[in-house]
Structure 1
């Protein structure tokens, strides 16, 4: 008899939780979840990046990456929406660092000297239009610390992608203001 009461209590709690969860899901969310991907059009490595505080992974020079995170965007796009993109670059990603005389990894002093050249960047960009369906947010890192984003379901380098810049771009001698 005691087991039956516990089972009935568990059924009641479980049923109540289901009703509570069903009540929460009746309304439509105000946000859409999106994958977060990056394309690096520069010769610097991107150690990490963030879009509105959501993190993405590292991206090799002239490469693709960052698919480790996601970002929440408003369900209804509006023309005034902006994104804050922050990133750190390693301008000399292929530097050969002096190794430790014993053990593994780079010499701490050599690594500290290399890391001192890392650069922090921040840009505010317009969020391009999208419908109720959002495939992914694609962040393009361009020379002169410029950023473009795409919400298109056509992924770079598709001819239908809205971003047309070549993957391997050279940094100009003088960056435009």
Structure 2
């Protein structure tokens, strides 16, 4: 009997979890994100592992598996974040009936989609429990990451950046 796509995903996840269990010196958990911009984060990954969800402007999401943190933090530790940002709520959707208009609309919105990649430092988590990785998408394609077990917005969460940040006139510094 052929395995369904859903079944293949479960097998892949079980394999990933089994691999994580074999690495006893590591801690694994989910990838989450907080989007502090007016753009949609269409997709993101950390060190090649998918964050799963699309994250709308000024929202949180993610849920991908897995960020595997070494048992000990080392100075100079980094992660590579790849992401695609685009228009969150495109205007003037023409519908599907007029195919040329629809394709032009898609082309216009695709032109506003940008792919990014950045290597960012992992903050020192010595003596703390690691609960995955949360990526904060900030204006001007800046990022911050946290391994905290506290939820964003709680007093103990280390990143205090407000969710709604004004977009700067220019990202040049």
By the TM > 0.5 criterion, same fold?
A: yes
Q: Which residue of 2 aligns with 1:113?
A: 108
Q: Which residue of 2 aligns with 1:66?
A: 62
Write the deviation string for residues 67-115 of structure 1: whole angstroms up to 9, x where unpaired: 133222222210111111111001x211132111179xx9233213211
**Structure 1 length-normalised TM:** 0.76
Matches within 5 A, 1:1-177: 29-56=24-51, 57-90=53-86, 92-96=87-91, 97-101=93-97, 107-130=102-125, 131=127, 133-177=129-173
1:75–1:132 contact (8 Å) kept in structure 2: no
Q: Quick check: which has more Rg, 1 or 2?
A: 1
In structure 2, stretches of 5+ residues that fail to align are: 1-20
For 2:110 and 2:49, locate their aligned partners in 1 and report how far apart those are by CA, in whole Å: 23
Post-superposition, which runs of at least 4 consecutive aligned residues in structure 1 deviate over 3 A?
none
**Structure 2 length-normalised TM:** 0.78
Q: How many residues align?
A: 149
